[in-house]
Structure 1
Amino acid sequence: MSALAAPVPMAVAAPRRRLPVWWMILPALILLGCFLLLPYASILVMSFREASTNAVYGPGLTLGHYGEIVTDGFVWGIVWRTLRTGLIVTVATLLLGYPVAYHLASSRSRWASLLYICVISPLLVGLVVRTFAWLIILSNSGLANTALKWAGLIGRPIIFLNSSLGVTIALIHVFLPFVILPLLGNLQAINPEVAMAARSLGASRARTFFKVTLPLSMPGIQAGAILVFVLSISAYVTPAMLGGSQGRTMAVLVVQYLVDNFRWPAGAALAIFMAAITVSIIFVYLKLTARAMRRLP
């Protein structure tokens, strides 16, 4: 009887080589580098250049533009007006947008889709067209003043245009969806059984909202507030068309330095100065909100 044949060894497939993980984010890094970091670096370098009357900037380097900004009370007034407008717009959009987002997240009505369309409708119209519409609404004989006069609330027209008031109203309308959409996604991600458990333990609707729902929605509030604040203080079209000299913001001032006065190094220094202030405020806000969220139950 013949001996059994020895088993033939099978070839072991070589393991596939895996690409490094960073290859997946390489396209995003290239885009950020080309369209964000390089322009910022160019602006930063230009802010230290000497001014010139026959070119964009002169050959030398100087810190004089930043010194001029820091010691100019007019610039600090514009900075304060810009930050104040951004803060008011952020708080107003949060107060107006949270109830809408909460209703959309909890509603099962067929009208919820219509409300969602109304929320995103400002994004479907061009910014210039929306601003022209606010020019008509907020004029002395416009819809807003006419309605207030008809209701007997005012005797003389309110000056909405060429002031920070008109700019603030228009920016709230423009950026309201940027608060509602992050909040909506956050509220929809909250497990409804958590609120049901709180109600089953005897908590009222108000106590459940303030002790459960509101703390769990803090990430959406944080993201929406940062988004609206950054967009509102960097907005140009709306303040330029509605603000006039009394509602001028830093974005308008920077463009005036660059285009009207042809002072590119000074305008670049203004832009870097405002960007540094914005980053500092956001950093402090993130630290404070992160600490507050850690203390929540």
Structure 2
Amino acid sequence: MTRRLPRLALGLPAVLLLLVFLILPYAEMITMSFRTSQPGTMHGAGFTADHYRNVMSGGLYLGALARSLLLALFITLACLVVSYPIAWHLSRASGRKALLLYACVASPLMIGVLIRNFGWMIIVNVDGPLNRVLLSLGLIDRPLRLLFTQGLVALALVHVFTPFMVLPINNALRNINPAVIEASRSLGASRFATFWKVILPLSFPGIQPGLILVFVLATAAYVTPALLGGQMVTMMPTLVVQTLVGTFDWPLGATLAVVMATAALIAVVVFSLATQRLMERVRA
């Protein structure tokens, strides 16, 4: 028993961090979601479940939640398509080439979110460089109105979330034994068959966390949809902030946040259960 105490003491800081920065905030948010609303104050006296009934029966809230989840799903799949070839080349690179590729992959994270979004606004503006280039090439007859569209929001989020997909996939690809790939080729398998039946399944331990991380981040993204989507694209995080800051209705805002977090958690759990057998086969 005395020998186990030092080990428990080593884990105590991590437990405290989870308690202070994760468990307690979520507990407070859930408690706030059951508070009554009262204008002029953070919440009224007593508790109620009316906020959940209003959210689950309101077309505005459910529509925003559905758009957020569908957009997050699209962004996640797009990041996978973009990231896998990058991760493949990164796993085969070494020396200065690897450092250069790592720097390029991490470059979106080195720029502030406001600067990055304002850069997108300048590029896709009606008088921006993208429209000028397309007009000069004769590909369009009049400038495209890309700003404040859901497509631009998705493109900007794919741009910033790609590193979160590339790095775990790259790590999984580096852990694949080259002898396995050589054995598949020596047995007569084509390049595509080797990739589809050997490389892709063995890289799934990197794909799964990348998909989960990007999906959760995309679901909760606020700044980019607010700046590049404006009032034309209503997402769940935008409604949460508007409710908390605009109308100062903290119980309703907490309810929206809880519903959004619960929906994302359910999606992640379903995906994890659906891919559990594949993960067990790969690890075996």
TM-score range, shorter chain: over 0.9
- Partner of residue 197 from structure 1, selected from 166, 180, 183: 183
Q: Partners in 1 of 2:250 and 2:12 — Cα distance?
A: 33
Instruction: Find the counterpart in structure 2 of residue 162 from structure 1.
Output: 148
Match of 1:138 among 110, 124, 128: 124
Is residue 77 of structure 2 the alignment partner of residue 91 of structure 1?
A: yes
Q: Could you tell me which residue of structure 2 aligns to residue 114 of structure 1?
A: 100
Change (3 A) 1:79 1:17: closer
Find the aligned partners of 1:31 and 1:82 in 2 and give their Cα distance: 29
CA shift, 1:22, in A, is 3.0
Question: Aligned equivalents of 1:171 and 1:125: distance in 2?
Answer: 14
Larger radius of gyration: 1
The partner residue of 2:264 within 278, 285, 288 is 278
Q: CA RMSD in A?
A: 1.9
Secondary structure of the corresponding residue to residue 61 of structure 1: coil
**Bigger shift: residues 284-293 or 28-37:** 284-293
Distance 1:255 1:160 in 2: 24
Post-superposition Cα deviations, 1:38-76, rounded to whole Å, max 9, x if no partner, equal 011111001000101131000111010001001110111
CA displacement at 1:294 relative to structure 2? 5.0
Which residue pairs with 2:216 in the alignment? 230
- Answering whether residue 44 of structure 2 is matched by residue 61 of structure 1, we say no
Summarize the Cα distance change of 1:18–1:36 in structure 2 as closer, same or farther, 3 Å threshold. closer
CA distance in 1, matches of 2:187, 2:242: 61
Deviations 1:248-292 (CA, angstroms, capped at 9, x unpaired): 211111000000111110000000011110100001111112234
User: In the alignment, residue 226 of structure 1 is paired with which amino acid?
Assistant: I
- Residue 125 of structure 1: how far off its partner (Å): 1.1
1:293 Cα deviation (Å)? 4.2
> Structure 2: how far apart are the matches of 1:203 and 1:18?
52
Distance 1:260 1:290, change over 3 A: same
> Residue 198 of structure 2 corresponds to which residue in structure 1?
212
* Residue 13 of structure 2 corresponds to residue 32 of structure 1: no
- Aligned-residue offset at 1:23: 2.6
Which of 240, 243, 258 aligns to 2:229? It is 243
Distance 1:18 1:271, change over 3 A: closer
Shift of 1:157: 2.5
Report the equivalent of 2:34: 48
Q: Does 2:78 align with 1:73?
A: no
More helix by share: 2
Q: TM-score if structure 1 supplies the norm length? A: 0.90
Q: Which runs of 5+ in 2 are unaligned?
A: none
Partner AA of 1:172 in structure 2: V
* Shift in Å, 1:173: 0.6
Letter in 1 for 2:45: P
Aligned pair count?
283
Structure 1 SS opposite 2:5: coil
TM-fit CA distance, 1:174: 0.7
Question: What is the percent sequence identity of the aligned residues?
Answer: 48
SS at match of 1:202: coil
Aligned to 2:240: 254
- Write the letter of the residue equivalent to 1:116: Y
CA distance in 2, matches of 1:148, 1:86: 29
